[in-house]
Structure 1
């Protein structure tokens, strides 16, 4: 009999037939380790129920807002203009007249300008005693008033923030010196009836002129400053 071992060896080492699956492969041609996870699919009925729940919540929220909105509109929150201190400028000016040596101005501005402070400063730091009043303007800006009978060039530059003279402006029948820093702050200066009055702030020139006219009226109503300020007695 012939030797068939050579034939068997050839059969064992023969290449795999085309199209035959490799060892360890699945019938679909993918390895078991490389299978993709299956994505869950929500059924149409379940998705419809979920959407219905969301729509119901939105409708309920809209109904709640609609129920409370008329109550809120019928009870608006009270309007507040903020704190307005009750400053009697005229009374404080009369009290300061005894030590000032002149009657400080108390412009009558009605309800257009509101004062937020009025005081007499002895000038212990600057050497210049002053009457000072702060005014809130109709446009919610600010103008500070300073009056003294001891003005000097250095003090004047300090009060006007070193602003240069840019012209004059007539108010109350008097020509006021106009100074402007170019950065929003401006000043109007008037030497009249023995005192110097300075108005300073970021307000508009129209508001400056309105307050300046009231200042001139007050200056002309008061006696001119002639006497020296009384010294404050030492304690």
Structure 2
């Protein structure tokens, strides 16, 4: 009788062999359960982020006084109401475009952001960098000073003005009314 005529052999497993064959499936389920438990443990032990964790109120006037020794101009540190907060104030020595600049980040009363950048050595490359190359879309008259408006839909707006010997750029997500408030405070400080 040839091997082709023989019926296929059905393996018969002993109880011990059947137990060992099922052990891999059981082990896989147990290891998956342990991994999920570890992940959930780490996930629930990690504290949730809260908005107030990111809120800081930097003393802009104090940092501006420190930066004044490095700058060849008076860094803008406008006086604003307590509803405005600042989350950073810093002096940047010759950034990527070779321009020393003063920067302050403001959180507006409506929870939006405006960055003030100031330098006495502005050049087209620095201005393009600060405004993300947004096109000029108009002008705004604020407290007797004409500001160039640059923006594009769904992006930050920027206001640019030459005040004294410096160029000031305000850029952010706030509405133009809040830009006007900050620009007016900067102008008032520059007049002092």
Provide the TM-score with structure 2 as the length reference. Answer: 0.70
Match of residue 116 from structure 1 = 87
Shift in Å, 1:120: 0.4
Match of residue 136 from structure 1 = 107
Shift in Å, 1:160: 0.6
The alignment status of 1:194 with 2:177, answered yes or no, reads: no
Per-residue CA distance 1:173-193 (angstroms, 9 max, x = gap)? 211111112223110001110
Shift in Å, 1:86: 3.4
Counterpart contact for 1:161–1:181, Cα < 8 Å: no
Alignment partner of 1:82 out of 52, 65, 86:
52
The alignment status of 1:94 with 2:75, answered yes or no, reads: no
1:127/1:85 Cα in 2 relative to 1: closer, same or farther (>3 Å)? Answer: same
Match of residue 155 from structure 2 = 184
Shift in Å, 1:88: 0.8
How many residues matched?
142
The alignment status of 1:146 with 2:107, answered yes or no, reads: no
Shift in Å, 1:154: 1.4
Match of residue 14 from structure 1 = none
Match of residue 12 from structure 1 = none
Give unpaired runs (5+ residues) of structure 2. Answer: 1-49
As a proportion of its length, which structure holds more strand?
A: 2
Structure 2 CA distance for aligned equivalents of residues 166 and 191 of structure 1: 18
Per-residue CA distance 1:70-102 (angstroms, 9 max, x = gap)? xxxxxxxxxx97143231101111111111011
Per-residue CA distance 1:33-91 (angstroms, 9 max, x = gap)? xxxxxxxxxxxxxxxxxxxxxxxxxxxxxxxxxxxxxxxxxxxxxxx971432311011
Structure 2 CA distance for aligned equivalents of residues 124 and 113 of structure 1: 27
Counterpart contact for 1:162–1:181, Cα < 8 Å: no
Match of residue 190 from structure 2 = 219
Provide the TM-score with structure 1 as the length reference. Answer: 0.58
Counterpart contact for 1:172–1:214, Cα < 8 Å: no
1:180/1:109 Cα in 2 relative to 1: closer, same or farther (>3 Å)? Answer: same
SS in structure 2 at match of 1:178: strand
Counterpart contact for 1:92–1:118, Cα < 8 Å: yes
SS in structure 2 at match of 1:105: coil
Counterpart contact for 2:57–2:85, Cα < 8 Å: no
Shift in Å, 1:204: 0.3
1:86/1:137 Cα in 2 relative to 1: closer, same or farther (>3 Å)? Answer: closer
Larger radius of gyration: 1
Runs of 4+, deviation exceeding 3 Å: none
Structure 1 CA distance for aligned equivalents of residues 136 and 111 of structure 2: 26
Structure 2 CA distance for aligned equivalents of residues 135 and 176 of structure 1: 19
